[in-house]
Structure 1
Amino acid sequence: MAVAGNSYVIRLTDAHLGWGTYRHTTTRNRRPGEGYIPIPISVSRNLDILNSNQQNISNIYTCRSVDGFFNDVELKASGNIEAGSPYAKQFQGNGNLLLIGDWYAHVGATVGDSVQVTWLSSHHIEIELI
């Protein structure tokens, strides 16, 4: 389980910044403005960041951003790299897929920029564009 002080850094790609439109699937309509923060599988496994495939756990994290744009918003650890895996592959807005995209727009994130995710406690994280 993640504890205060754990962190990781991820470099952003087109898919992270434009999740709603930069996609190779037709499972749902394109929607500009969506974004997500990827979680490398090694981080997900090491810190037990689980998705909803795992029963009796919370995959909801309280998040703030260093720049002050977010203050205690809810992010969901979701997705997986293979069907049925309990390990999450991304953080997304809980019930709002535009949430991370709004933050990316606010901080002026572009392809090649990096985001640092730092745990303040087991289910409270802080994000920063670095």
Structure 2
Amino acid sequence: MPQQGDTFITELQVAHLQWGSHRHTNTRGIVYGEGYLQIAASNAYRFDITNNHSSIRSAEYDFSTSDGFITNGKLLAAGNQYKREYAKQFQGSGNLKLLGSWFIHLGVSAGDKIQIEFLSPTEIRLTKI
């Protein structure tokens, strides 16, 4: 379980910034404005970030952005790594455009980095660095 003070950095790629439109599958139509944050397997295992396949804890986290653009938001630890219960991404819980709107607000591009900081085991602060 993540602890207060745990942090990691993820580097944004085009797929993270344009999740709904930069796709290599036809499983659903194009949706503009979606975004997500990748969780490397090493970070998922080190901080025990599990998805909804795990019965150990909720996959939902409260979050805010350090610039105040998003306060009292909800992130979902989703997808799965090689070990099925470990998450591979953070996405807006029930709103796949939530992070995309923040990315647009910041004017980020591929190569920019986001720090993910755990304020508690269930609360996150996101910061563009």
Matches within 5 A, 1:27-106: 27-82=27-82, 85-106=84-105
Structure 1 range deviating more: 100-109 or 73-82: 73-82
Tell me how far apart the structure 2 counterparts of residues 12 and 57 of structure 1 sit (CA, whole Å). 27
Question: Residue in 1 aligned with 2:26?
Answer: 26
- Secondary structure at 2:104 match in 1: helix
Per the normalisation by structure 2, the TM-score is 0.96
How many residue pairs are counted as aligned between the two chains?
Answer: 129
Give the deviation of 1:56 after TM superposition: 4.7
Aligned-pair CA distance for 1:81: 3.0
**Cα offsets for 1:93-119 (capped at 9, x unmatched):** 000000000000011111110000000
Backbone CA RMSD of aligned residues = 1.0
Quote the offset at 1:16 in angstroms.
Answer: 0.4
For residue 89 of structure 1, what is the amino acid of its counterpart?
K
Shift of 1:89: 0.4
Structure 1 SS opposite 2:86: coil
Percent identity reads 41
Name which of structure 1's ranges 46-55 and 117-126 shifts more when overlaid on structure 2. Answer: 46-55
CA distance in 2, matches of 1:16, 1:125: 18
Which residue identity does 1:81 align to in structure 2? Q
Q: How many angstroms apart in 1 are the aligned matches of 2:47 and 2:10?
A: 15
For the residue of structure 2 that corresponds to 1:44, the secondary structure is helix
Q: Deviations over 1:54-107 (max 9, x none)?
A: 12520000001000001110000000134x700000000000000000000011
Q: 1:18 to 1:10 in 2, by over 3 A?
A: same
SS of equivalent residue, structure 2 residue 16: helix
Give the drift of 1:26: 1.0
Q: Which residue of 2 aligns with 1:108?
A: 107
TM-score using structure 1 length: 0.96
